[in-house]
Structure 1
Amino acid sequence: MAGAWLLGSDAATRADRPRAVLVAVRNEADPQDSGSGTELSLAELERLADTDGLTVVDAVVQSRPRPDSATYVGAGKVQELTEAAERGHADLVIADGELTPGQVRNLEEQVGVRVVDRTALILDVFAEHARTSEGRLQVELAQIAYQLPRLRGDGRGLSRVGGGRVAGGAGMGVRGPGEQRLETQRRRLRQRASRLGERVRELSRRREQTRRRRTRNRVPSVAITGYTNAGKSALLNRLTGADVLVEDVLFATLDPTVRRIRVDDIVATLADTVGFVRYLPHQLVDAFRSTLEEVSRSDLAVHVVDASAPDAANQIATVHDVLREIGAGDVPELLVLNKIDVAPQEQLTTLRRRYPDALAVSALTGAGVGELRTALAARLREVGTGTPSPSR
């Protein structure tokens, strides 16, 4: 049965939403995958499902050294998964990993409901939250890269994960009828991807021109980065007086927002960027590479951490991994422990001991933000880009 991390009583208010059962494979020999590691990963998967308009009704965990090549969890566990789906009247099974087309097909045939993986769910969440034309282009490009090797003759590979809330028509954008031949579908998708890629590259070139103008004008750039839902947008609002959307959901911000900020005698640009998550699909990293360059081309990265998250240290490591992947591993970093107003004191003490140079703040209450502004000015001078702003 489901653990304490599930939605519980709140699920009763969501009876009209599609219902999902989560499934995971736990490797007891891997410290990051055993015990609490799997539970934290499933908790995050549930939040992703909730963000996508799904209600999680149960979870099944299989302990084995590696996923089964045919059914992900193995023949014996498939029966338990089937019973959980029937008991919970589930419409969907979501695997906490990336499935092969064969695993998806075999599970669907045996469980009797649609099966998707963590990557498909994240892509669906991104599709819902992309607001700008560039964000939608990047998400669709990532979806095509994921879907091409998974096309089926019935066309189901092109449908949304849970039929949740779709913002502005976001989604695949290519809904060919199931009767179309696979080769025709693949050709059309490749053509669509080629057109999307060129449009994304053009937008990237425009962004690069803007960066060059800032460089010529000697305006330093700061990028706010971090794990999803760490409070990056709230901190940007606190520092600049902006009104960027702040929601308690994963990936509320996908489109970079740039604002001007003045700290002491320095004027700089401050960019809010997309949040990261464990096992961030490589299709998204590739598609959003031009947007993520906002971090790699910045003079300073403000790495915001949710100090109240039980796996905050692992989240920091995940962000560092992605930053290295996009070529931003050498960008000077200012680590900021956010949400100190709700973080358990013992956990906060542990984090401050582990990261002695980090600043502790609350974007919600404003605590520590004054010290952060002072530190920003000092760090910008350290990297040699801070220049006095003209007097007003």
Structure 2
Amino acid sequence: MALAAALPDLEILGAEVVRLNRPQAGMLFGSGKIGELKHRFAEDGVELVLVDGAVSPVQQRNLEREWNVKLLDRTGLILEIFADRARTREGVLQVELAALSYQRTRLVRAWTHLERQRGGLGFVGGPGETQIEADRRAIDEEVVRIRRQLAKVVKTRELHRAARRKVPFPVVALVGYTNAGKSTLFNRMTGAEVLAKDMLFATLDPTMRGVALPSGKKVILSDTVGFISDLPTQLVAAFRATLEEVLEADLILHVRDIAHPETEEQAADVRDILDSLGVDEGVPLFEVWNKIDLLAPPLRDALKVQDARNPGIHAVSAITGEGIAPLLDAITGALDDERQETELVLPFSEGRKRAWLHDRQLVRAEAEGKDAWRVTVRWTSRQRAAFDRLEG
């Protein structure tokens, strides 16, 4: 229901949980349920049916014909929402790329018949090019075009990131399940006016702002797209670039809607996606338990006790501002790691480690010897630990 409600101008007429002992290969549901739903859809004037799960291309085609409606499965619905939310050039291109990848799988699996053929000259490879092959080729050409455009956008973003490294402000990334309140917290901490609404995927494109902490230290705060369970594989790949800021973060704030009945399951989904992205285990992570203003006083007090006992947990309300000051103090403490100067001897075979140091602007001086580089670096203990985990 929440996913459906995220699409604007969509009137939701109802929802039902249909239990399936075994999904039917051609129609997903059994004939009795299909007939029952067909009658109900006709009575209510339903034009769009949403299935919160995977529907094969053949099942989609057959159900649309039987019910005389448009049908979207979970992946198709999420793509529609993302298309509606995208604002930046990169966001639009990422959505288009994900949609084309999704359409191509529908194409390949749905049209298994061979009567859709266009005539050929006969002497170049058989009876001519089938329509499915022509459509597949057209999609592939469009994918190549979009990837070229994305490469330019990504190059520009990398230049911006390189420029930020030269002004070495730490990056603090907000991550969390969609609608956990990340953008509201972002606005509270930065004074910005990023779109913050009570709806899924209100933020799709990453937003960054500079923030001065109470100590005077400056950091870059990054708001990111909300995660969701069973994220379509097309979107995991397409939006990996959008989440690259998380991979470079010096501190991650995992924002949780602590008032949500499924907050534990949502948190597990976020942790799984962070693992799949390859986030460095050495990067400090705080759990920010947001929306405590929605809780009854006894439960709110209990959460505050956990907050006090665990330095990695912070109970806050981005709406009222409660708990924000201690969170900012904790961020300051986590990022105020004392820097030390160290001299390293790196054999020429360890060029990757040398490049890593230069990428992060840690090198203070360097001399090239007969068999190795002598590199003087200034770094934090956390940066040294990350360096030690590198290979070659």
Please tell me the TM-score bracket, short chain as reference: 0.7 to 0.9
Paired residue for 1:333?
A: 285
Q: Provide the C-alpha distance between the structure 1 equivalents of 2:21 and 2:288, rounded to a whole number of angstroms.
A: 37
Matched residues in 2 for 1:86 and 1:267: separation? Answer: 60
Q: Specify the alignment match of 1:98 in structure 2.
A: 54
- 1:241-288 deviation line (CA, Å, top 9, x unaligned): 111112222111111111001111321111111111112111111111
**Matching residue of 1:17:** none
- C-alpha change, 1:236 and 1:214, in structure 2 (3 Å) is same
Write out aligned runs for 1:328-367 (5 A): 328=279, 330=281, 331-345=283-297, 348=300, 356=310, 357-367=312-322
Secondary structure of 2:198's aligned partner: coil
Displacement of 1:65 in angstroms is 4.5
Measured in 2, the distance between the counterparts of 1:216 and 1:139 equals 31
Instruction: Give the TM-score taking structure 2 as reference length.
Output: 0.75
Per-residue deviation, 1:347: 5.7
Contact map agreement 2:2 2:200 (CA 8 A) in 1:
no
C-alpha displacement at 1:54, in angstroms?
A: 1.4
Q: Deviations over 1:91-125 (max 9, x none)?
A: 01111112110110121222221211011011001
Could you tell me which residue of structure 1 aligns to residue 330 of structure 2?
A: 375
TM-score computed with the length of structure 1 as normaliser: 0.75
* Paired AA for residue 261 in structure 1: V
Question: Which stretch shifts more, 368-377 or 331-340?
Answer: 331-340
Instruction: Quote the offset at 1:348 in angstroms.
Output: 4.9
| Alignment pair present for 1:203 and 2:158 | no
Q: Partner residue of 1:160?
A: none
1:243 equivalenced with 2:243 (yes/no): no
* Secondary structure of residue in 2 paired with 1:268: strand
User: Is the 8 Å Cα contact of residues 3 and 200 (structure 2) preserved in structure 1?
Assistant: no
Query: Matches of 1:208 and 1:237 in 2, distance apart?
Result: 25
Q: RMSD over aligned Cα, in angstroms?
A: 2.6
The reply to whether residue 271 of structure 1 matches residue 222 of structure 2 is yes
User: 1:116 matched to which residue of 2?
Assistant: 72
Structure 2 CA distance, aligned partners of 1:260 and 1:248? 25
Structure 2 equivalent of residue 294 of structure 1: 245
Q: Tell whether the 8 Å contact from 1:341 to 1:365 is kept in structure 2 after alignment.
A: yes
C-alpha separation between the residues in 2 aligned to 1:45 and 1:376?
A: 33
Report % sequence identity. Answer: 41
Given candidates 221, 224, 230, the residue that maps to 2:171 is 221
The 2-side partners of 1:352 and 1:86 are apart by 52
| Unpaired runs of at least 5, structure 1 | 1-42, 156-179, 387-392
Q: Deviations over 1:310-333 (max 9, x none)?
A: 111111111111111211262321
How far apart are the structure 2 equivalents of 1:270 and 1:107? 46
* TM superposition shift of 1:375: 0.9
**Kept in 2: contact 1:204–1:291 (CA 8 A):** no
Question: SS in structure 2 opposite 1:147?
Answer: helix
| Residue 215 of structure 1, CA deviation | 2.4
* Structure 2 counterpart of 1:252: 202
Tell me how far apart the structure 2 counterparts of residues 253 and 198 of structure 1 sit (CA, whole Å).
25
Q: Secondary structure at the residue paired with 1:265?
A: coil
Q: Which of 125, 136, 154 is matched with 1:186 structurally?
A: 136
Q: 1:45 to 1:237 in 2, by over 3 A?
A: closer
Selected match of 1:58 from 3, 6, 14: 14
Deviations 1:219-260 (A, max 9, x none): 111111111111111111111111111222211111111100
Contact 1:231 1:363 survives alignment (8 Å) = yes
CA distance in 2, matches of 1:339, 1:383: 34
**Deviation at residue 338 of structure 1 after TM alignment:** 1.0
Query: Quick one: distance in 1 between partners of 2:185 and 2:11?
Result: 30
Equivalent-residue separation in structure 2 for 1:239 and 1:69 (angstroms): 51
Deviations along 1:50-96, one digit per CA (max 9) or x if unpaired, are x2431121223222345332222333322222233123210011111
The CA distance in 2 between the partners of 1:232 and 1:245, in whole Å, is 10
Secondary structure of 1:250's match? coil
Taking the aligned partners of 2:185 and 2:155, their CA distance within structure 1 comes to 28
